[in-house]
Structure 1
Amino acid sequence: MFEEPTTNESGIDIENWDQPIYRIYPKNRFIELLNTKKNVLVRPALWDDPMENFFLNSIVKTEDGELVSLESIAAGWYGQCWTTKEESDAMWRIYSPDKNGVKVRTTINKLFESFYDKTDSYRKLKYFVGKVSYESSQNIEDFLSRVAFTDLALGGQADKFARTLCIKRPEFDHEQEVRLLFHDAQNQHTDKKVVAFNLDHTLVFDQVVIDPRMSENEFNAIKSEIIENGCVSPITQSTLYKISKTIIKM
């Protein structure tokens, strides 16, 4: 039905497909991923920022003056957030509140290839990965005042909707996000808040880093547990808070 796509056609502002990206999982979620080999994407409505999914949360006014919700379209999108930032205090505190987080490293290309289904006839409508841009609330409001629903829907493609899901406010720019996005173009996941995709962690993840706030004993215990559950990536502990004592003169 469609010409054979390349992954580049599904990338939004991706300049370097070999760019390393990172994600912090709670320990239990990471263990679950190791066992199920499933990567879970969630509806953007479950993200914290109320400005997420700002376009599909809008109301469309038809030529007849009727107000129409885009809720049914919004419900067909799912996403997962990654970051290009290797290490930060804020990310550990936000995504590892119980101080038992597990950070994994991969590349944009490895992650997307694990997710993208080349056998899917509707693949060009479904699978995207995008680098997040950070725009002021005023710029977002100006965009909404100018754009019409048909501007994004024209042609029946989904890339323009995907691009709106890669916009956040500058208050979040410390996250340096890259987003994996899925569009349920065939309505196969209706009423599901999450969708899962196969992910072979032995091929996708090339590094695992444990929360820097753990004690040495806690680190050794979680490292052993992760290995027992099939992790083959190198495992270390973040040294973010490890500072050598300096010797000074009397």
Structure 2
Amino acid sequence: MNNSILDSLDPEIYVYRIFGIERLFQLFETKKNVLVHPSKWDDPFENFILSGLIEIASGEKGQFGFKDHVFGQCWTMKRESDAMWRIYSPEKNGVRVRARVKNLIQGLRAAESFSFADISCFVGKVSYLPQNKLKDLNINVLDSSGKGIAQSLLYKRTEFSHEKEVRLIYSMHNSSANIPKVFSYGFDPCTVLDEITFDPRIDKRMSDVYTHSLVDVYGFPRKSINTSKLYSPPQEFITQLKA
């Protein structure tokens, strides 16, 4: 597993992901996690190394044939922020899930009995650089360990540094011409996830209904479900006035 955790990322740390309640129940119902091709991400600089032109010794230009064989999913080391809830839970009924890095990558490695887990499955922390430095990066994407391909997805512009991203990455070793835009694999939420937190703005009646389903239908531990207190007023906050 150590080969799959890049750049000295601590396997014990927690990472988080916020999405809509519908996606949460889809995850529990299908037991499938979905990684997407970087072309679906908003930043045009995503996958810029693999998608860019390359020039060989003869002067000919082309592109890497495997540029579309890579899939990823974005998590964050940031536990919570007002902006995150507003961006990823616009309907005020989203959830934040939590997992340890080691459980996240173990889930990917174990799924579907991958024959090439050591060179296909990775998790790593994103580094943020000025745009001019991104252009000067020299990553060996052809290295036999598979790490180079994964590391090419772990760089973003400095303007995105507030995201504190960690990315789960799968590199598909498949010569088929029909490469999908998404990659799904078997995923047990009760094993990989260890906390579910509701949007701080959610209607309590709805969170109670959702909690009931998560516990009684899908077997998620009740003690590991809560609601964010981001907007809760501080208790017993007393300002002392000086005479």
**Same fold, TM-score > 0.5, yes or no:** yes
Distance 1:156 1:66, change over 3 A: same
Q: Deviations over 1:75-121 (max 9, x none)?
A: 10000111111111121112112221111111000111111039533
Q: Matched residue of 2:119: which SS?
A: helix
Equivalent pairs counted in the alignment come to 237
Does 1:13 pair with 2:2? no
For 2:165, the equivalent position in structure 1 comes to 177
Asked whether the 8 Å contact 1:37–1:199 carries over to 2, the reply is: yes
Of 195, 199, 203, the match for 2:187: 199
Aligned Cα root-mean-square deviation (Å): 2.2
- The amino acid of 2:227's aligned partner reads Q
Taking structure 1 as the reference length, the TM-score comes to 0.86
Does 1:106 pair with 2:99? yes
- The amino acid of 1:201's aligned partner reads P
Of 117, 128, 145, the match for 1:157: 145
Q: Matched residue of 2:98: which SS?
A: strand
Separation of aligned partners in 1, 2:52 and 2:87: 28
Once the two structures are TM-superposed, the CA of residue 202 in structure 1 deviates from its matched residue by 1.3
Q: Deviations over 1:172-205 (max 9, x none)?
A: 1111111110001124693311111111111111
Asked whether the 8 Å contact 2:17–2:96 carries over to 1, the reply is: yes
Q: Matched residue of 1:12: which SS?
A: coil
Does 1:235 pair with 2:225? yes
For 1:37, the equivalent position in structure 2 comes to 31
Once the two structures are TM-superposed, the CA of residue 37 in structure 1 deviates from its matched residue by 0.8
Query: Which range moves more in the overlay, 218-227 or 230-239?
Result: 218-227
Separation of aligned partners in 2, 1:15 and 1:79: 17
Does 1:168 pair with 2:162? no
Separation of aligned partners in 1, 2:177 and 2:185: 12
For 1:4, the equivalent position in structure 2 comes to none
Distance 1:249 1:58, change over 3 A: closer
Once the two structures are TM-superposed, the CA of residue 220 in structure 1 deviates from its matched residue by 2.1
Unmatched 5+ residue regions in structure 1? Answer: 1-6
User: Counterparts of 1:58-207 in structure 2 under 5 Å?
Assistant: 58-70=52-64, 72-117=65-110, 119-143=113-137, 147=138, 151-153=140-142, 155-187=143-175, 190-207=178-195
Distance 1:152 1:95, change over 3 A: same
Q: Matched residue of 2:136: which SS?
A: helix
Asked whether the 8 Å contact 1:34–1:229 carries over to 2, the reply is: no
Query: Which range moves more in the overlay, 94-103 or 181-190?
Result: 181-190
Once the two structures are TM-superposed, the CA of residue 166 in structure 1 deviates from its matched residue by 0.7
Separation of aligned partners in 1, 2:215 and 2:204: 16
For 1:47, the equivalent position in structure 2 comes to 41
Asked whether the 8 Å contact 1:133–1:167 carries over to 2, the reply is: yes
Once the two structures are TM-superposed, the CA of residue 15 in structure 1 deviates from its matched residue by 3.5
Of 218, 224, 239, the match for 2:212: 224
Structure 1 segments of 4 or more deviating over 6 A? none
Q: Matched residue of 1:157: which SS?
A: coil
Query: Which range moves more in the overlay, 37-46 or 182-191?
Result: 182-191
Once the two structures are TM-superposed, the CA of residue 122 in structure 1 deviates from its matched residue by 2.1
Q: Matched residue of 1:55: which SS?
A: helix
Identity %, equivalent residues: 35
Asked whether the 8 Å contact 2:9–2:124 carries over to 1, the reply is: no
